[in-house]
């Protein structure tokens, strides 16, 4: 990396920063999804409802991160990898 011209090095550093930011978004979305899942579980009043709500919240959080990554210009494969979702899920969600 040190052998790269200054302009290319700056681009690479920005790319790394963006990846860190996106990873942070995944973590944040996971927490929001977990809170949403707990709320849904409490409303339904049964363990299955709680787990179902948590899982849906996690998945929705991951999909939201993937949407943001795609909007920033990442490829589908990169967005799926960073967000932790299957590429097929992005296709079936209507994002593409």
Domain definitions of the chain by residue range: 22-92
The better pLDDT of the pair 75, 95 is held by: 75
Per-residue pLDDT tens over the stretch 14-64:
999 998 888 887 777 666 677 677 676 666 666 666 677 788 888 888 888
Q: What is the pLDDT of residue 96?
A: 54
What is the band of 5 on the pLDDT scale with cuts at 50, 70, 90? very high
Instruction: State how far the Cα of 62 lies from the Cα of 43, in Å rounded to an integer.
Output: 23
For the chain, the helix, strand and coil percentages under 3-state DSSP, each to the nearest 5: 80, 0, 20
* CB contact at 8 A, 37 and 56: yes
Instruction: State how far the Cα of 94 lies from the Cα of 88, in Å rounded to an integer.
Output: 10
Q: At what angle do helices 6-44 and 47-71 cross, to 10 degrees?
A: 160
Q: Based on the number of CB atoms within 10 Å of its own CB, is 30 exposed (0-12), middle (13-18) or buried (19 or more)?
A: middle
Q: What is the pLDDT of residue 11?
A: 92
Q: 28 CB contacts (<8 Å, ≥6 apart)?
A: none
The better pLDDT of the pair 31, 6 is held by: 6
* CB contact at 8 A, 50 and 36: no
């Amino acid at each position: 990396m040190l052998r790269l011209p200054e302009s290319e090095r700056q681009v690479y550093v920005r790319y790394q920063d963006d990846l860190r930011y996106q990873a942070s978004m995944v973590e944040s979305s996971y927490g929001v999804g977990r809170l949403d899942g707990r709320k849904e579980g409490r409303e339904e009043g049964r363990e299955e409802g709680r787990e179902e709500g948590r899982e849906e919240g996690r998945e929705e959080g991951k999909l939201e991160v993937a949407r943001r990554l795609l909007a920033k210009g990442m490829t589908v494969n990169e967005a799926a990898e960073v967000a932790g979702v299957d590429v097929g899920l992005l296709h079936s969600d209507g994002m593409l």
